[in-house]
């Protein structure tokens, strides 16, 4: 069928199939709980394929992470840049900065296409894994988060840097919990909370965190 394709497309096809299955499994179970045999069986490829393409099981984990992480960060930083350039001088709207931080991943969370939704779950679970290579990647990622500080500073000029970091921390927490525990919110609220609309979720999250940040201004 694909006999006239050069080797590369076919190679990428198998690679991506493995990555898709691994992403899905690592999203719902811990790294140690997923075996390479489960992955290869589900992907319909040979057992040795993972070591052939990714060197090791840990290499596969890293590859799953890298495949989409930069895309997500680019989306975030693009939205941040858009807000900052829309207000070239003077104060920046606080909610706009926070939106740049949390809206892209929330949008991904509700986007089943191209595995975006699965990747967010994967990302959330990865935060707790202790694979050394993956931890190193997350420590590079703090550099990306630090880029939001100038934006926050321009939105809340009177707030000391320390406070801004604390606010960023709590915001990331509320967001992260939304990735992992949204279904629990539906359950605990007996279903009265609508967790289906991405815009609604993002709007509530942004408003909650913006208010939390703004409240510190008066107290410092």
The two counts, helices (H) then strands (E), for the chain are 10, 0
Closer of 14 and 203 to a copy of itself (Cβ)? 203
What is the widest separation between alpha-carbon atoms in the chain?
70
- The only residue of 28, 29, 30, 51 in contact with DNA, by rule CB under 7 A: 51
Residue for token pair 């709007």: 203
95 CB contacts (<8 Å, ≥6 apart)? 206, 207, 210
32 binds a copy of itself (CB under 8 A): yes
Q: And the tokens for 102? A: 């949390």
- The only residue of 3, 85, 113, 162 in contact with DNA, by rule CB under 7 A: 3
Name which of residues 157 to 196 contact a copy of itself (CB under 8 A): 161-162, 165-178, 180-181, 184-185, 187-189, 192-194
d(CA 21, CA 40): 8
Question: In this structure, are residues 58 and 131 in contact, taking their beta carbons and an 8 Å threshold?
Answer: yes
Interaction partner, residue 172 (a copy of itself, DNA, none; CB < 5-8 Å by kind): a copy of itself
3-state secondary structure (DSSP) of residue 156: coil
Contacting residues toward a copy of itself, per CB under 8 A:
28-33, 125, 127-130, 139, 142, 145-146, 161-162, 165-178, 180-181, 184-185, 187-189, 192-194, 204-205, 207-216, 219
Contacting residues toward DNA, per CB under 7 A:
3, 6-7, 10-11, 14, 34-38, 45-53, 56-58
């Amino acid at each position: 069928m694909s006999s006239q394709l050069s080797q590369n497309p076919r190679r990428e096809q198998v690679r991506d199939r493995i990555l898709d299955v691994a992403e899905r499994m690592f999203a719902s179970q811990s790294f140690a709980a997923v075996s390479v045999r489960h992955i290869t069986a589900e992907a319909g490829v040979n057992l040795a394929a993972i070591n052939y393409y990714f060197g090791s099981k840990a290499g596969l984990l890293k590859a799953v992470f890298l495949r989409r992480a930069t895309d997500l960060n680019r989306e975030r930083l693009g939205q941040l840049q858009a807000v900052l350039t829309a207000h070239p001088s003077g104060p920046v709207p606080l909610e706009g900065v926070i939106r740049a931080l949390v809206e892209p991943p929330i949008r991904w969370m509700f986007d089943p296409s191209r595995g975006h939704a699965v990747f967010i779950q994967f990302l959330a679970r990865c935060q707790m894994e202790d694979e050394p290579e993956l931890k190193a990647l997350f420590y590079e990622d703090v550099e990306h988060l630090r880029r939001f500080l100038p934006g926050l500073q321009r939105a809340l000029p009177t707030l000391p840097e320390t406070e801004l970091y604390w606010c960023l921390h709590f915001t990331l927490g509320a967001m992260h919990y939304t990735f992992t525990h949204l279904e629990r919110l539906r359950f605990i609220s007996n279903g009265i909370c609508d967790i289906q609309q991405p815009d609604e979720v993002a709007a509530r999250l942004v408003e909650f965190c913006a208010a939390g940040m703004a409240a510190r201004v008066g107290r410092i």
